[in-house]
Amino acid sequence: MNRPENNIPTRYKLLPPLHSDIEYAATFPEIIPEQIGPVIGEGTFHLVYEYGPENVIKIPRLAYRVFPIITLERVRREQKTVKKYFSEYVRENTTLESLSLPGYVIVQRRVRAENITPRNVGEVMEELTRLVSANHRLIENEGVSFDFLGFQGVLDSSKALVDPSYIPSITNILLEKEINHPPRITMVDLGLLTVDNRRSDTTGVDGLQVIFFNINRALIKYHFGLDIKE
């Protein structure tokens, strides 16, 4: 039964207003809400919408806007680190800051690309091997790793261990096939994972990241034959 708004207990009024994705994006002065199209991808933290003819917009999911585990400051810090270690794979990426609400959205060029799977990985194996070596240096120097699989990749790659109808996939880097250009790797999600919780402040989020890192490592070794940590 719908309850009239003025009967909502006051404790709920303490929560920030629950804007829909489009309303939330419209609070960013640079964003034109009419340009936001259908959802074309999803991850743990963002829904990815078409944005105009050339771009996508990544909008943090409602739950993470209310409880911002991922902050603008963290996104900026991770992007800086990823660009330092993997510059050759990172394409244009703009992170916008809201003036009226805490938070961010990411606008990125839309990549016409496929997830990397055991079937197509041969087309970019040399590049992927170089990227894995750069990841060894990143772990050694900073105690963090690139998150190769992403949320959907972890799901599909683990289900594939027990059910051959699932295809193992790496979703945070894509295999880009532009006309007149050899296939290449493009990074679309610049998120990082803590590798060793003895090196961090062992908050809950860091602990979960250590688990995700080890799942990434095991599944990539098993399905793609590469070890992301030396």
Ligand X SMILES: Nc1ncnc2c1ncn2[C@@H]1O[C@H](COP(=O)(O)OP(=O)(O)OP(=O)(O)O)[C@@H](O)[C@H]1O
Among 4-12, 124-132, 149-157, 197-205, which window interacts with ligand X (CB under 6 A)?
A: 149-157
Quick one: 172 or 194, whose CB is closer to Mg ion? 172
Name the β-bridge partners of 107: 57, 94
- 81 touches which of ligand X, Mg ion, none (CB within 5 to 8 A by kind)? none
Q: Measured from the CB of residue 172, what is the shortest distance to Mg ion in angstroms?
A: 4
Among 21, 25, 58, 219, binds ligand X (CB under 6 A): 58
Instruction: Please list, residue by residue across 188-220, b when 16 or more beta carbons sit within 10 angstroms of its beta carbon and e when fewer do.
Output: bbbbbbbbebeebeeeeebeebbebbebbbebb
Q: How many CB atoms lie within 10 A of CB 84?
A: 13
Name the β-bridge partners of 145: 193
Among 31, 103, 191, 224, binds ligand X (CB under 6 A): 191
Q: Does 188 sit near ligand X (CB under 6 A)?
A: yes
Quick one: 46 or 229, whose CB is closer to ligand X? 46
**Residue linked to tokens 């990411």:** 106
Angle between helices 150-159 and 204-224 (to 10 degrees): 50
Among 41-49, 71-79, 120-128, 156-164, which window interacts with Mg ion (CB under 5 A)?
A: 41-49
Pairwise CA distance, residues 160 & 119, whole Å = 14
Q: How many CB atoms lie within 10 A of CB 89?
A: 22
Helix, strand, coil percentages for the chain (3-state, nearest 5)? 40, 25, 35
Amino acid identity for residue 202 in this structure: T
Among 74, 110, 130, 159, binds ligand X (CB under 6 A): 110
Q: Measured from the CB of residue 29, what is the shortest distance to ligand X in angstroms?
A: 22
SS3 at position 123: helix
- 187 touches which of Mg ion, ligand X, none (CB within 5 to 8 A by kind)? none
Q: Measured from the CB of residue 189, what is the shortest distance to Mg ion in angstroms?
A: 4
Among 9-17, 37-45, 94-102, 194-202, which window interacts with ligand X (CB under 6 A)?
A: 37-45
Binding site for Mg ion (CB under 5 A): 43, 150, 172, 189
Task: Please report, as ranges, the residues that interact with ligand X according to CB under 6 A.
Answer: 40-46, 48, 56, 58, 108, 110-111, 147, 150-152, 171-172, 188-189, 191
